[in-house]
Every structure is written in structure tokens, then in C-alpha cells.
Amino acid sequence: MPRRGERKRRRLPGDPTDQRGFSTMVEQYLEWMAIKNYSPRTVENRHLYLGYFITWCQERGLTRPQEITKPILERYARWLYHLRQEDGRPLSFRAQHSRLVPVRAFFKWAARQNLLLFNAASELELPKLEQRLPKAVLTAAEADQVLNQPDVEDVLGIRDRSILEVLYSTGMRRAEVIGLGRYDLDVDRGTVMVRQGKGRKDRMIPIGERALAWLDRYVTEARPELVVEPDDGTLFLTNDGAAFTPSRMTQLVRGYVVAAELGKSGACHLFRHTMATLMLEGGADIRFIQQMLGHAKLETTQIYTQVSIRQLKEIHAATHPGARLGRRAAAEDDDFKEDLDELLDREEEDDDLDDYLRGDVGAAG
């Protein structure tokens, strides 16, 4: 039976009575992942993408992993490249990558478990991922504009303002905010404990005083109106007393971003990008931002050095001759015109002197 908040998995395509068939072996692989403490989200994604692969194989008369060879896998990769979605757009290279990684992982596992004689996917090359910048980042003023959207005279408005404040102050992931418990907050120390974040890792991070103030108001005024006994300790509750689902949390945050009429789109991750960018522009070391965001690799955090443009603009204005000239002409327009007139006068005097030296006295004067 699935845990609370988890969706019941659909049965994989294929014959479940065939012990060597795709359906049976993939179910064994997913069970192995659960035993090895892979996150439920990872297991769910592997189930989904392996289901796509099994369906593709069955349409071509392939029902067992033993029948798969390297050329077949390369054919599947080409098919993904040419696949078109309902709106006619191709799959992004990141989407193609996401569908191929579970396939490669499954065949590696099957070979190591001696269920297959060889790993047909051992030399399968994955698409090279492009490095993308966040689509949008809010300024401090824009973030405050979004935060001011909820009606804080209402119980749900207090809750929503608290959620937005936590996202903005900590840069937590959507799932991490959903999973917060009442006692994960340490008001005295000004910290919040993120339990079992991405990669099954706990981390303790600071949270701002303003966010703590709104959380205190939510816990004392709003949450008691939303909780349904028995109380499992989940911090943020929906209007029916349940924990948020990912889609519902996204819908809530996106609604306030749209209502702010900033011309920018996004939801929970928009505040994550904003927090990291504003901290970097404020002088924070990138290693501290890495710890805040819970990134396993510093390279992942370094993307924000390209988003943080303010310092680069200051350096550009201070060192580029064209940037300084334009800034001076705009700020000191009258002085610039006087300097330009004086320069032209000097050039005319130089021309008169040249005419005199050439003996063209009449021209000189």
C-alpha cells in the first residue's frame, strides 16, 4: 500500500507471468531500489520511463530484456530524438537524457544480478546536456511584491504568506517545504532542519527573522484552524487538513506570481533561484550558497554566477571605455559639451598653425 502522499503505481506493460519478461524483471529492479533506500520519487521516475521503453519494445515484438542489443538501444535513442509531443515540439535533450538513464541503469543492474549474460547498455551514449540559466529571477522589490499578494486577514492568506516567506528566505525545494514538520523549526537559533532532502540528506540552514515571524503567526493563529486530528505534525496544511501535494503547492505559488503582474513566470523554484542570486550579489561566498541549496556538487551552484549580473555590470562600467563615456555623457551632459567645444577649438587652432607653417598665410589668417 502506498504511503501518504504517494501515488499508486500503475502496472507495467507486459506479461507478469513471464519470469524472464520485462514486466517481472523491472518490478524486481524497482523493489531492489526501494530496498537500497532510493527515494520514492526516484523509484517512481524509473517506473515511468522504463514503462515507456517497455511499450516501445513491445510494439516491435521485443518482450524480454535478453532480446535487447546495443543497436536496438541506439535505435530507441534515435526514436526519442525524432519523437514529437502533442504540440509538435520535440523532446528536449534533457528529457531524452531522463528517459535513457533508467534504461541504462536497469541493464547494468540486470547484468550484475546475473539475470543477463551481458550489459547491452554499457556503451550507450547519453545526449550531452545543455547548460541552461534559470528562465526568470526576481529582484528584491519584485519578490516583496509577490509576498504581499496573500490576504493576511484570512487564515489561508497567513498560511500562504508563510509558505512564500520560507521559499524566499531559505531557497528550499518544493518537496522540502511540503515535508517540513512543526518541530523542524528552531526559533531561538533561527534555523530550520531539512530532513531527507534530495539525495536522502539532512541539512540545517538559517531562516530569516521575517520568515520566522510569519511562521509564528501561522502556527499560533492559522494552523489550529486547519489541523485535523490526529495531528501528524506536518507544518503546512491544506484547507482540508492534509499535507500539500507537489502540484497543489506549485499551483498556489504560481497563482501569486501571476497575480503580482511582473511579466515573469515560475513557482517554487523561482524563489530558489532568486534567493541564490540575491545572496551572491550581496557578497555571499558560493560555497555557503551551495550549503543553503543542498547541492552535492559546487558545479551545480556555479550556474548562479552567470545569473548574478550586477557585479559584472559594475566591473564593465568601471573598466570599459565605452561604458564610462556613455555614463559620463548622460550624467554630466553640460560639462561634456563644454569639453567637446574646447577640443574642437584646439583642432581649429592646430589647422591654422599647419597652414602658416606650409606658407599658406592667407589661409591662416
Q: By the 8 A CB rule, do 12 and 65 touch?
A: no
| Complete DSSP assignment for 157-178 | HHHHHHHHHHHHHH---HHHHH
Q: Quick one: which of 96, 103, 134 has its CA closest to 119? A: 103
Strand stretches in 158-242, DSSP E: 185-186, 191-197, 201-206
CB-based burial of residue 227 (10 Å sphere; 0-12 exposed, 13-18 middle, 19+ buried)?
A: middle
Which residue has cell 515535508?
Answer: 179
Catalytic residue among 198, 203, 254, 264: 198
The verdict on whether 198 is a catalytic residue reads yes
Q: Of 47, 173, 174, 273, which residue is the catalytic one?
A: 173
Q: Which three cell numbers stand for residue 255?
A: 497563482
CB 269 within 8 A of CB 282: no
Q: Which residues, listed in sequence order, are joined to residue 201 by a DSSP beta bridge?
A: 197
Nearest to 159 by CA among 45, 236, 51: 236
Cell of 316: 564593465
Cβ–Cβ under 8 Å, residues 50 and 105: no
Q: For residues 49-67, b (16+ Cβ closer than 10 Å) or e, as one string?
A: bbbbbbebbbeeebbbbbe
Instruction: For residue 320, indicate whether it is catalytic.
Output: no
Q: Is 269 a catalytic residue?
A: yes
CA atoms within 13 A on the CB side of 194: 27
User: Is residue 297 annotated as a catalytic residue, yes or no?
Assistant: no
Residue ranges of alpha helices (H) inside 36-173 are 40-58, 70-82, 93-112, 140-147, 155-170
Q: Find the catalytic residue in 70, 97, 203, 269.
A: 269
- Cβ atoms 175, 265 nearer than 8 A: no
Annotation says 273 is catalytic: no
Catalytic annotation on 70?
no
- Catalytic positions: 173, 198, 269, 272, 295, 304
